[in-house]
């Protein structure tokens, strides 16, 4: 049996999504900007996809939702454009974000710092989230933008976006949320919360890879990243990726219709898996279940190094992650675990299991069984669980934690 | 960057079959109890290196025959990734049958080579090389405990890159000998910094005492100081190679030649010349001058006078000189 439990990294494309995309590779291939019927033939489908995305997010007709290549592009677009729109001219000089954002936000912020922008990286609390009063206390007259993720890719913890949005609105500061891990997993209602910009990516909710979107409230001005033709209301040039836009529309519709029911089903499987794994001694899961996306578990198993565990799971045909897939070749401890105050040993033991609506009960049973035997094997090898004490003087010395891992 | 870099290799695809096999089924994993060692009349040494908090830790057990100093049995425990488990296993294997004095000569390079499927293909990807270093360090610790000596007594030089075992002296020497200007060049010449990259600059997987960026900067400073000293010594000895001189020395030398051989003739005609700049342009040394007084605008200043100045400087200082009026 093969079990895919890395759905926070990416998801299987729903077969229904694949089906609606097919004609746009073969029959309806015209450039939608062309005036002839080969091009205009795709317009009704594109309009439908746009409607599907606006409906799924409950966006207003005054808002813009621009298709991008991915959420990384959307995040880069917001941060770099704020720099050109508000910071280069001296109007503002400050951006607030968090220590636990996706690399596409953190790396862009670090680049902006090189350009002279002041960036505040807010720490998370023991639940792994940034509290709204913390955001409030760092906003100044010079703050151009607050950028806070909606839900964590690593822990699944849901951030207080509604409260942060209200604070930003009251203070007159623009607010961006990277909602990649929220859209399609939990309700995202743009009439209920105040955000100026919101990033999303189709492949996180069973859409195709290579297509994302940026929501821009009330048609806020934002310098384009791509200049060129007149596509997407002059906001993003480049020939429209018709099959993928159509696929994203279908995927978001499937993911958000009856979302409460889907969430309940995924949550039940997740909780059963979590309960079973927590029966193992010396394990702990990050964050309360109620405030977590219903598909995610970040579990630590004392004495079992994360990559070693991943190796054994992989041998058992189970796909999991040690944290963010973007950082899976890094040697560092899990930064979120460190941020929430886990000790350094535990921070090296985090395994992320993320389910989808396609995860079955049989897969959960198989995972529980294989997970437990992998832990038993690796703990038998583990020096943490050794019974014989070292010869006096043979104990390990102090560990020097690299600078970037210190908090 | 190149085509091959456009898609990163899967980490585990870069592991040798031996690493994979030993990770799945380590042969020497386990413990040796004091009772077992005592029953054989042997001495038990148990040494730890690394720490769970660092993400990698290994415990080495040696059962040593005190009459021969021979390691008759060895086991390990490890908190670590696949490479750490496999390299600990091979390290343990390499220790068995050796005397403590022989075992202490085993390096992480030996461990990594023993994990290769074929001699020319590395057993682990570069960023995992540091995992084999622990095996080297824990052997030193176990040996120091048995022999009752300081671990540092096994090291006769400062190791900057643990993964490739490159010493400070070697790095300084190649920088000087080959006039290296970048860290990438140091890696090309020595392999230092080519593996886990912790020794390149602060902020890597582990803190290091020495970083390549600092060694490069310091060594280049020393080279510059040596060069200046050599130039100054040559000048004070009454000569020296114009091309090797510092800019200030070159300006002084040019001024001296002009003062001695040119300026008096220009002044006689109500003119003068000043040096604006000296720049090295490929093979040429360009001296930028400005004519003053009567020379400024004189028809000869672009022909005969210029030719006279240039040939005098060429003759007295260097054939590579070009004089360019601004």
pLDDT band (50, 70, 90) for residue B13: confident
DSSP conformation letters of A199-218: EEEGGGGTS-TT-EEEEEGG
The closest of A315, A319, A348, A354 to A332, measured between CA atoms, is A348
Give me the catalytic one of A109, A168, A326, A399. Answer: A326
In contact, A182 and A151? CB cutoff 8 Å: yes
From CA B234, how far away is CA B208, in angstroms rounded? 40
Angstroms from B186 CA to nearest CA on chain A: 23
B149 interfaces chain A, CB cutoff of 8 Å: no
From CA B109, how far away is CA B98, in angstroms rounded? 18
Is residue B195 pLDDT above 60, yes or no?
A: yes
Checking phi first, is residue B31 left (phi over 0); if not, alpha (psi -120 to 50) or beta?
Answer: beta
In contact, A283 and A377? CB cutoff 8 Å: no
From CA B82, how far away is CA A38, in angstroms rounded? 55
The closest of B114, B134, B112, B154 to B54, measured between CA atoms, is B134
Strands laid side by side in the B43-51 sheet: B43-51, B56-65, B70-79
Instruction: Kindly report the number of other CB atoms within 10 A of residue B306's CB atom.
Output: 17
Q: Exposed/middle/buried for A200, CB within 10 Å: 0-12, 13-18, 19+?
A: buried
A394 interfaces chain B, CB cutoff of 8 Å: yes
Which pLDDT does position B249 carry in this prediction?
A: 83
Residues 6 or more apart whose CB falls under 8 angstroms from that of A112 comprise: A79, A80, A83, A87, A95, A119
CB contact under 8 A, B59 and A390: yes
Angstroms from B189 CA to nearest CA on chain A: 26
B121-147 confidence digits (pLDDT tens): 889 887 777 777 777 789 999 999 999
For an interface test with A, give the residue of B53, B73, B143 to mutate (most A CBs within 10 A).
B53
From CA B117, how far away is CA B91, in angstroms rounded? 16
Which pLDDT does position A402 carry in this prediction?
A: 39
Interface of B with A in 197-256 (CB under 8 A): 202-207
In contact, A367 and B50? CB cutoff 8 Å: no
Angstroms from B21 CA to nearest CA on chain A: 12
Percent share of chain B, pLDDT over 90:
40
Give CA A145 to chain center in angstroms. 19
Lowest mean pLDDT among A130-134, B210-214, B292-296: B292-296
From CA A139, how far away is CA A127, in angstroms rounded? 23
Give CA A235 to chain center in angstroms. 24
The ipTM value here is 0.81
- Catalytic-residue membership of B196: no
For an interface test with B, give the residue of A320, A381, A384, A401 to mutate (most B CBs within 10 A).
A381
From CA A5, how far away is CA A13, in angstroms rounded? 15
Which pLDDT does position B239 carry in this prediction?
A: 65
Q: Which residue of A lies nearest to B58 if distances are taken between CA atoms?
A: A383
From CA A68, how far away is CA A63, in angstroms rounded? 16
Whole-structure pTM value: 0.79
The closest of B94, B65, B89 to B77, measured between CA atoms, is B89
From CA B44, how far away is CA A388, in angstroms rounded? 11
pLDDT (tens place) for every residue of chain A, 407 residues total:
999 999 999 999 999 999 999 999 999 999 998 989 999 999 999 999 999 999 999 999 999 999 999 999 999 999 999 999 999 999 999 999 999 999 999 999 999 999 999 999 999 888 889 999 999 999 999 999 999 999 999 899 999 999 999 999 999 999 999 999 999 999 999 999 999 999 999 999 999 999 999 999 998 999 999 999 888 988 999 999 999 999 999 999 999 999 999 999 999 999 999 999 999 999 989 889 999 999 999 998 999 988 899 999 999 999 999 854 444 444 555 666 766 667 777 778 889 999 999 999 999 999 999 999 999 999 999 988 888 999 998 888 765 443 332 22
Per DSSP, B6 falls in state S
Instruction: Report the DSSP beta bridge partners of residue B64.
Output: B43, B71
Residue that wins the pLDDT comparison between A399 and B225: B225
From CA A58, how far away is CA A359, in angstroms rounded? 28
Interface of B with A in 27-86 (CB under 8 A): 29, 31-34, 44-59, 61, 77-82, 84-85
Cα separations in angstroms, A308 against A215, A314, A322, B88, B189: 40, 10, 10, 14, 34
From CA B147, how far away is CA A245, in angstroms rounded? 70
B31-70 confidence digits (pLDDT tens): 999 999 999 999 999 999 887 777 778 999 999 999 999 9
Give me the catalytic one of B131, B163, B196, B199. Answer: B131
- Report helix, strand or coil for B160: strand
In contact, A322 and A307? CB cutoff 8 Å: yes
Q: Which of A311, A332, A383 sits opposite B77 (nearest CB)?
A: A383
Encoded tokens for B179? 């006039």
Q: Which of A314, A381, A394 sits opposite B77 (nearest CB)?
A: A381
Which pLDDT does position A265 carry in this prediction?
A: 97
A403 contacts on B by Cβ (under 8 Å): 202-203, 207
- Determine which helix (DSSP H) or strand (DSSP E) holds A298, and give its type and residue range: strand A296-301
Q: What's the start-to-end Cα distance of chain B, in Å? A: 43
A282 interfaces chain B, CB cutoff of 8 Å: no
- Catalytic-residue membership of B54: yes
B207 contacts on A by Cβ (under 8 Å): 400-403
Q: What's the start-to-end Cα distance of chain A, in Å? A: 41
CB contact under 8 A, B48 and A383: yes
Which pLDDT does position A329 carry in this prediction?
A: 47
- Report helix, strand or coil for A3: strand
A405 contacts on B by Cβ (under 8 Å): none
The closest of B198, B199, B14, B162 to A331, measured between CA atoms, is B198
Q: Which residue of B lies nearest to A380 if distances are taken between CA atoms?
A: B30
Strands laid side by side in the B284-293 sheet: B271-281, B284-293, B321-325
Per-residue exposure over A147-171, b if at least 16 CB sit within 10 Å of its own CB, e if not: bbbbbbbbbbbbbbbeebbbbbeee
Q: Which residue of A lies nearest to B12 if distances are taken between CA atoms?
A: A311
CB contact under 8 A, A308 and B80: yes
Which pLDDT does position A272 carry in this prediction?
A: 98
The closest of A403, A386, A365 to A303, measured between CA atoms, is A386
Cα separations in angstroms, B25 against A317, B72, B75: 18, 22, 14
Beta strands in A21-102 (DSSP E): 64-68, 94-98
From CA A254, how far away is CA A355, in angstroms rounded? 16
Q: Which of B24, B51, B55 sits opposite A396 (nearest CB)?
A: B51
Encoded tokens for A36? 């002839």
CB contact under 8 A, B142 and A394: yes
Which pLDDT does position A403 carry in this prediction?
A: 32
Torsion angle in degrees (nearest 10) through CA of B257, B260, B263, B269: -150
B59 contacts on A by Cβ (under 8 Å): 383, 386, 390
* Stated length of chain A: 407
In contact, A254 and A206? CB cutoff 8 Å: yes
């Amino acid at each position: 049996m093969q079990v895919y439990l890395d759905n926070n990294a990416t998801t299987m494309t729903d077969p229904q999504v694949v089906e609606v995309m097919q004609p746009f590779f073969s029959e309806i291939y015209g450039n939608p900007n062309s005036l002839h019927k080969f091009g205009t033939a795709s317009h009704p489908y594109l309009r439908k996809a746009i409607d599907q995305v606006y409906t799924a997010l409950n966006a207003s007709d005054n808002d813009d939702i621009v298709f991008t290549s991915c959420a990384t592009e959307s995040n880069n677009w917001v941060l770099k454009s704020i720099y050109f729109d508000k910071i280069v001219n001296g109007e503002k000089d400050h951006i607030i974000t968090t220590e636990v954002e996706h690399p596409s936000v953190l790396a862009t912020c670090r680049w902006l710092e090189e350009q002279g922008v002041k960036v505040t990286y807010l720490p998370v609390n023991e639940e792994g989230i940034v509290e709204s009063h913390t955001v409030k206390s760092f906003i100044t007259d010079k703050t151009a933008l607050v950028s806070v993720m909606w839900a964590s890719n690593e822990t699944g913890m849901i951030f207080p976006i509604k409260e942060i949005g209200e604070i930003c609105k009251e203070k007159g500061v623009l607010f961006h949320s990277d909602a990649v891990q929220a859209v399609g997993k939990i309700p995202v209602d743009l009439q209920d919360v105040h955000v100026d910009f919101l990033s999303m990516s189709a492949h996180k909710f069973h859409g195709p890879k290579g297509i994302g979107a940026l929501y821009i409230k009330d048609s806020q001005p934002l310098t384009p990243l791509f200049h060129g033709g007149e596509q997407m209301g002059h906001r993003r040039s480049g020939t429209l990726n018709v099959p993928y836009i159509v696929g994203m529309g279908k995927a978001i519709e499937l993911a958000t219709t009856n979302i409460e029911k889907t969430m309940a089903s995924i949550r039940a499987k997740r909780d059963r898996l979590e309960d079973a794994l927590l029966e193992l001694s010396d394990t702990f899961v990050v964050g309360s279940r109620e405030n977590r996306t219903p598909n995610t578990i970040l579990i630590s198993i004392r004495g079992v190094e994360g990559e070693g565990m991943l190796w054994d799971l992989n041998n058992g045909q189970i796909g999991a992650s040690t944290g963010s897939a973007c950082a899976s070749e890094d040697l560092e401890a899990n930064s979120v675990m460190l941020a929430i105050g886990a000790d350094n040993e535990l921070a090296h033991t985090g395994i992320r299991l993320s389910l989808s609506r396609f995860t079955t009960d049989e897969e959960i049973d198989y995972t529980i069984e294989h997970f437990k035997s992998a832990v038993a094997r690796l703990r038998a090898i583990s020096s943490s669980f050794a019974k014989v004490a070292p010869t006096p003087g043979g104990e390990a010395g102090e560990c020097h934690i690299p600078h970037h891992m210190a908090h | 960057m190149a085509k091959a870099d456009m898609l990163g290799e899967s980490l585990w695809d870069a592991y040798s079959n031996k690493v994979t096999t030993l990770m799945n089924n380590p042969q020497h994993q386990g413990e040796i109890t004091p009772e077992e060692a005592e029953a054989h009349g042997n001495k038990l040494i148990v040494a730890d290196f690394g720490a769970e908090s660092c993400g990698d830790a290994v415990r080495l057990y040696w059962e040593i025959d005190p009459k021969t100093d021979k390691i008759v049995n060895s086991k390990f425990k490890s908190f670590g990734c696949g490479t750490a488990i496999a390299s600990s296993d091979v390290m343990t294997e390499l220790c068995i049958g050796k005397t403590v004095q022989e075992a202490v000569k085993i390096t992480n390079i030996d461990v990594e080579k023993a994990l290769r499927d074929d001699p020319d293909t590395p057993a682990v990807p570069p960023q995992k090389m540091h995992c084999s270093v622990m095996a080297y360090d824990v052997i030193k610790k176990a040996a120091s405990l048995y022999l009752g000596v300081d671990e540092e007594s096994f090291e006769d030089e400062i190791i900057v890159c643990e993964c490739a075992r490159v010493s400070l002296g070697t790095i300084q020497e190649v920088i000087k000998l080959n006039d290296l200007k970048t860290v990438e060049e140091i890696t090309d010449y020595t392999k230092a910094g080519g593996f886990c990259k912790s020794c390149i600059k602060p902020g890597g997987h582990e803190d290091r005492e020495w970083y390549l960026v600092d060694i490069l900067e310091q060594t280049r400073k020393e080279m510059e100081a040596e060069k200046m000293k050599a130039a100054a010594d040559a000048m004070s000895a009454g000569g020296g190679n114009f091309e090797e001189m510092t800019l200030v020395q070159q300006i002084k030398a040019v001024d001296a030649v002009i003062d001695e051989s040119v300026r008096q003739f220009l002044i006689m005609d109500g003119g003068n010349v000043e040096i604006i700049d000296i720049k090295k342009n490929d093979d040429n040394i360009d001296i930028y001058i400005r004519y003053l007084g009567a020379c400024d605008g004189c028809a000869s200043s672009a022909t005969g006078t210029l030719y006279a100045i240039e040939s005098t400087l060429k003759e007295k200082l260097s054939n590579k000189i070009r004089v360019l009026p601004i």
